[in-house]
Structure 1
Amino acid sequence: MIERIESFRRRRPRLLEERVTLAHGAGGKASAALVDAVFVEAFRNPLLEPLCDGAVIDLPGGERLVISTDSFVVQPRTFPGGSIGQLAVHGTANDLAVSGAVPQWISAAFVLEEGFPIAELKQIAADMAAAAAETGVQIVTGDTKVVPKGAADGVFVTTTGVGVIPAGRDLSARSVRPGDKVLLSGSMGDHGMAVMLARGDLAIEADIRSDTASVSPLVESLLAAAPSTRWLRDATRGGVGTVCNELAQACGLGVLLDEEKLPVRPMVAGACELLGIDPLYVANEGKIVAVVAAEETEAAIAALRSHPLGADAAEVGEILEEPAQTVVVRTGFGGTRIVDMLVGDPLPRIC
């Protein structure tokens, strides 16, 4: 397996562009190339190189922390089911939770454009405070910068979260084995489609709401019921398809998904079909992808379904020895198709 992982590292996507494009922020191939060629190359160290949702820090006393940083530039800033303020807290706390940590503290920095309404800024702060209270984290420090009118689009929020990993907990792609099962905690694409339709320029009307929420309760329920859980991710930018590709490449194995088992709400499926977008690539903000040992699958699904956020949880695939480093979907017609890393950015600024 080590040989497979090293082989993948040698063939990561190359950065060919001379200027940044929207695709570099989509979480797919262009993002991976940008991160590798610029940031990993400049900052290379053992804590950074796994390129997980958060860095695991071993403290001298034996405790372990996870640190995660994210930025939020969603447009519009308020959408059905959520807002940039809620997203900033949920997104950061979720990155900590799927790294195995219990979220504890958040730092928040704001870049404000000159002329931004104070009333809207207060509402964003209120949304963040409510989301933090719901999630069980404290916003403990931060920073504010103001730039001239036209130098930013209203407000950008950057957050850093810190969480504590309970003793004995270890989630890693290196622990994934052939025969493990892939679980999804609920329907795909709710957030991305809610934001896209809220922009109002697609002439599509549908009652679709963002799924933005803290997944920490789901994670804790899952790990209590299935203590041999191998790996977790929240399927945000690039959706389930991109996350599964990252898993396949990190563990050196194949991922087989069952198209008929992948949950998608009818309105989301209809909107995706009209826009020509595969729901597998649409962002979620309150869903987790989990790899669990086969013998713990039933207990894991039952635990997820016991929480409202996981009511539609399902087993959607399995881990295979071959085809290595590849995601394959078994279609409803009995055939298969390869799901590659996301190329381009069909849904810009959805988080």
Structure 2
Amino acid sequence: MKNKITLAHGAGAEVSRGFIKKTLLKYFKSKSLAELSDSAKIKINSKDILFTTDSYVVNPVFFPGGNIGDLAVCGTVNDISVSGGDIKYISLGLIIEEGLDLKELEQILKAVALRAKEAGVEIVTGDTKVVERGGADKIFINTSGIGQAIADATVKARNIKKGDKIIVSGNLAEHGISVMNERHKLGLKGLKSDVAPLNKITKALFLKFDKDIHMTRDLTRGGLAGALKEIAEQAKKDIELEESRVPLSKAVKGAVSILGVDPLQTANEGKFVCIADAKKAESVLKLLKTFAYGKDAKICGTVLKTRKGRVYIKTPLGASRALAEHEGSNLPRIC
């Protein structure tokens, strides 16, 4: 399979990052694109604008806690938000398979409308295509988002420094495990996707703490492990996670113990990681906990003084091991 695309190329981990850098970027010369951030910061009439795009192919289309419509809006909102932007407008592109039940389509569109209202964004343009049976899997969605940069918000991996604290906004792996449970009809109880818009939390963080917030990233494909590994490599800094402090719900703990899945490498759709100045970390945590989508936030790691671009896991017994990412994916088509 050396010269063929595999599911690993889209999993958000090491293979995926290598594919983007070695195959895709060589054809496109752009300073903004080379940053490989969740959104591109561009200038229009001297104003900083954030722009992002994403596609959604989740299987199944409906899952506990939401559907593909929820993902399409929240994912795009969150990409702009963790990049230091205040999102305003979204596009909606639909690729619909012939034979999709109209009632299912309307459920999806209703979810899009409700999430857009919750996030305070407007759907302003779109496109619809219908393909023959087998040409898609029920429905695929593409969304793009645009917003204004929040004053002085500069979140880049190179800004992190020794002693910075790693803060996770809540319980991890809920989306990935919920989709796995629904897809394979595993019958595990108490699982629900965490899909949610994070723009109100991130805006509050940037407005209050400004440059003390050094980096933020939403934790989708590749999970917390993938996000931190990418940040560490870009910053050429090492990061240590305390395994016992990583927030997990009781239901997810039970599920991963049965399934043998690593929650650190499992997708989320309503969580982000914040790397903040150590002196402000407790205040950042306190603010996060005032929001419904941040009530389970925890400080769970530190940026180290060493500079190898690695992520380490500190076990409850005090031992430390280098994080090894999966070559493939716990579950393809997670979003």
Shared fold by TM > 0.5? yes
Asked whether 1:301 is paired with 2:285, we answer yes
Q: For the residues of structure 1 that align with 2:24 and 2:298, how far apart are their CA atoms?
A: 36
Aligned to 2:323: 339
Aligned to 1:85: 69
SS at structure 2 position matched to 1:102: strand
Alignment map for 1:271-290 (pairs within 5 Å): 271-290=255-274
Aligned to 2:78: 94
The farther-off stretch of 66-75 and 52-61 is 52-61
Aligned to 2:237: 253
SS at structure 1 position matched to 2:229: helix
Cα-to-partner distance string for 1:299-334 (whole Å, 9 max, x where unaligned): 100000011111111111111121520000100011
- Which residue, out of 197, 210, 220, partners 2:203? 220
The farther-off stretch of 229-238 and 51-60 is 51-60
Q: 1:226, 1:292 within 8 Å by CA — same for their partners in 2?
A: no
Root-mean-square deviation (CA, aligned residues, Å) is 1.3
TM-score, with length taken from structure 1? 0.92
Aligned to 1:210: 193
Q: For the residues of structure 2 that align with 1:33 and 1:55, how far apart are their CA atoms?
A: 20
Q: 2:288, 2:295 within 8 Å by CA — same for their partners in 1?
A: yes
Cα-to-partner distance string for 1:59-102 (whole Å, 9 max, x where unaligned): 233x1111111111111111111111011000000000000000
Aligned to 1:239: 223
Alignment map for 1:120-269 (pairs within 5 Å): 120-201=104-185, 203-227=186-210, 228-269=212-253
Question: Residue 11 of structure 2 aligns to which amino acid in structure 1?
Answer: A
Q: For the residues of structure 2 that align with 1:129 and 1:24, how far apart are their CA atoms?
A: 32
Cα-to-partner distance string for 1:153-195 (whole Å, 9 max, x where unaligned): 1110011111110222211111111111110010110111111
The farther-off stretch of 224-233 and 284-293 is 224-233
Give 1:37 shift.
2.6
Aligned to 1:3: none
Q: 1:111, 1:147 within 8 Å by CA — same for their partners in 2?
A: yes
- Which residue, out of 19, 23, 33, partners 2:18? 33
Question: Residue 45 of structure 1 aligns to which amino acid in structure 2?
Answer: S
Q: For the residues of structure 2 that align with 1:38 and 1:229, how far apart are their CA atoms?
A: 32
Question: Residue 28 of structure 2 aligns to which amino acid in structure 1?
Answer: F
SS at structure 2 position matched to 1:174: helix
Point out where structure 2 has 5 or more consecutive residues left out of the alignment: none
Q: For the residues of structure 2 that align with 1:179 and 1:217, how far apart are their CA atoms?
A: 27
Point out where structure 1 has 5 or more consecutive residues left out of the alignment: 1-15
Cα-to-partner distance string for 1:186-228 (whole Å, 9 max, x where unaligned): 0110111111111244x34211111100111111222234221
Give 1:20 shift.
1.1
The farther-off stretch of 107-116 and 155-164 is 107-116
Q: For the residues of structure 2 that align with 1:301 and 1:114, how far apart are their CA atoms?
A: 47
Q: For the residues of structure 2 that align with 1:68 and 1:336, how far apart are their CA atoms?
A: 37
Aligned to 1:11: none
SS at structure 1 position matched to 2:179: helix
Q: For the residues of structure 1 that align with 2:150 and 2:35, how far apart are their CA atoms?
A: 20
Q: 1:86, 1:128 within 8 Å by CA — same for their partners in 2?
A: yes
Question: Residue 53 of structure 1 aligns to which amino acid in structure 2?
Answer: D
Q: For the residues of structure 1 that align with 2:66 and 2:326, how far apart are their CA atoms?
A: 25
Question: Residue 149 of structure 2 aligns to which amino acid in structure 1?
Answer: I
Q: For the residues of structure 2 that align with 1:175 and 1:58, how far apart are their CA atoms?
A: 21
Give 1:44 shift.
2.4
Q: For the residues of structure 1 that align with 2:213 and 2:289, how far apart are their CA atoms?
A: 16
Q: 1:81, 1:209 within 8 Å by CA — same for their partners in 2?
A: yes
Asked whether 1:57 is paired with 2:42, we answer yes
Q: For the residues of structure 1 that align with 2:20 and 2:89, how far apart are their CA atoms?
A: 26
Aligned to 1:71: 55
The percent of aligned pairs where both chains have the same amino acid is 38
Give 1:340 shift.
3.0
Aligned to 1:43: 28
SS at structure 1 position matched to 2:73: helix
SS at structure 1 position matched to 2:282: helix
Q: 1:242, 1:342 within 8 Å by CA — same for their partners in 2?
A: no
Q: 2:97, 2:136 within 8 Å by CA — same for their partners in 1?
A: yes
Aligned to 2:276: 292
Q: 2:150, 2:206 within 8 Å by CA — same for their partners in 1?
A: no
